[in-house]
Structure 1
């Protein structure tokens, strides 16, 4: 993937991506929160063939969908998105894990591992975005967490054993 970004003084920022499949996508993030997405012709990379305008809430919701926060394809056993040293991983709370029935606060996850829990999606599809320390972890939930590789190792131990 080829990626460029540039400032648009008085407007915001422009991001241009060329995907591995050959698509060209331009995204303009306006200072007022609006986003404009442009898709370009294969044969004429300067000719836009479609444009979508999103407000801030719409853009954030779509980014969650694309980023896999709201749905993880079943064929993927584990997903990892690396942003420099930051890794976002999805964990299934398997039956028998010691963390089941305990709250995020009781487990003291952030202090003990350093990861930040971004979301918890329960078996019944209830979503908890940016959950607080009072949220109890339940069997078969999906926990989305961000941190560095070593922090994730510690976090896995806390989920499995209830301790670090």
Structure 2
């Protein structure tokens, strides 16, 4: 993740974050303790699509939640045993990945990876439950899929991430 810090004289500090999935978030920390968080359009990092303002106490509570101090996820292994090693995962398809502009059938996800795509949250927020093999995969779509952990990791690495093929 790339983070850029900027001093805002008389206001506070600004932090610009670009995540691995190319999401842009800007956090402005005001000298009076307020925090503003802005989320930007995936296609236009100059266009803010949402924002929220927190006071100092709210900000600290959110930081604790994000940092895992308020809730520590249960060990996934206990859930996997209940489903005989089957897990459900979701992943946002990265621009430049091999899956972009292919259909689920063309990508042959079920046969090559032994993974089932059970839903897609399209970039425009449309939800597709039980998408068929003719459904196109686009950059920014979030795929919800099920399978065994090793199969899911292989699918993400080889087909859904920008560094498909193991490039780093």
- TM-score, normalised via structure 1 length: 0.48
- TM-score, normalised via structure 2 length: 0.47
